Structure 1
Amino acid sequence: MIISKEGVNVVSILGNDYSIKAPEGQEQALADAVIMLKSALAETKRNYPTLIGDRLLVLAALNLCSKQVELKQRHAEELERCQQQVSATVEVISKAIGQV
């Protein structure tokens, strides 16, 4: 990734250059996203060596989205579990305070 004077990042993906301007302070997030996408493309290419161009890009993007959906679901489940624990703790504390 190349950063120009104007804060525009030039990203090369599958041989094509894309000029992307990241919001101030988000340059590292963009760099991390580029690394993640390139890694996903390489993994997808290993698994499907005959895919090229847009088809490779779309399958890699779908794989990333699938992982994101799974992480979002696990996060929601974990959040629910934590909320149940907090509620149970509050209930125990409320009962203890009521006994004093």
Structure 2
Amino acid sequence: MSGAAETVKVISILGNDYSIKAPAVEAQAIVDAAELLKATLADTKRKYPTLVGDKLLVLTAMNLCSRQLELQRDHAAALLRYQAQVEATVEAVARTLERD
């Protein structure tokens, strides 16, 4: 073990308890992730009231994954824009310095 203190968090999803062991510094992230999952499950259940169990969980997971992919695409596009802006700024500074 790396020496980092570990903790076990018990979360309940769809009536089942899950014990998750992780470094203590990640304990709040586990709780936050569980709360996000529960909220997204509830939202999916409102939209599709007939879904239960695995089908509800899979559709919710697919929705979360879809959001994650969208965020990754948005992040990549933003990064390209920022890189272009930095390059343009560097070129402008270089041209200004060449004139002096």
> TM-score normalised to the size of structure 2?
0.92
Q: 1:95, 1:89 → 2: CA distance?
A: 10
- The equivalent of 2:63 in structure 1 is 63
- The equivalent of 1:12 in structure 2 is 12
Q: Give, as a single letter, the amino acid of the residue that structure 1 aligns with 2:95.
A: K
Runs of 4+ in 1 over 2 A off after TM superposition: none
Q: 2:95, 2:24 → 1: CA distance?
A: 50
The 5-angstrom pairing of residues 1-100 of structure 1 reads 7-100=7-100
RMSD over aligned Cα atoms: 0.9
Ranges in structure 1 where 5+ consecutive residues have no aligned partner: 1-5
Q: Per-residue CA shift, 1:49-90, capped at 9, x if unaligned? A: 000001000000000000000000000000000000000000
Ranges in structure 2 where 5+ consecutive residues have no aligned partner: 1-5
Please give the secondary structure, in 2, of the residue aligned with 1:51: coil
Q: Give, as a single letter, the amino acid of the residue that structure 1 aligns with 2:22.
A: A
Q: Aligned residues: percent identity?
A: 58
| Cα offset, 1:24, TM superposition | 2.5
Please give the secondary structure, in 1, of the residue aligned with 2:25: coil
Q: 1:22, 1:39 → 2: CA distance?
A: 22
- The equivalent of 2:3 in structure 1 is none
Q: 1:79, 1:23 → 2: CA distance?
A: 31
Q: Give, as a single letter, the amino acid of the residue that structure 1 aligns with 2:14.
A: L
How many residues align? The count is 95
Q: Give, as a single letter, the amino acid of the residue that structure 1 aligns with 2:30.
A: L
> TM-score normalised to the size of structure 1?
0.92
